[in-house]
Amino acid sequence: MTGASASRAATRGSHCILRHPDGRSTVVPLHSGEPLGPGLLIKIARDIELSRSDVIRLLTE
pLDDT in tens, 17-36: 988 888 888 898 988 888 88
% pLDDT > 70, the chain = 92
Quote the mean pLDDT of the chain: 83
Comparison of pLDDT for 1 and 60, the residue scoring more: 60
Give whole-number Cα distances, 55 to 17, 30, 37, 41, 44, in Å.
Answer: 18, 18, 13, 8, 10
Task: Output Rg (C-alpha) for the chain, integer angstroms.
Answer: 11
In the chain, what are the domains?
2-60 (3.30.920.30)
pLDDT (0 to 100) of residue 15: 92
Q: Following DSSP, what letter does each residue of 7-56 receive, concatenated? A: EEEEEETTEEEEE-TTS-EEEEE--TT-PPPHHHHHHHHHHTT--HHHHH
pTM of the model as a whole: 0.64
33 exposure class (CB count in 10 Å sphere: 0-12, 13-18, 19+): exposed
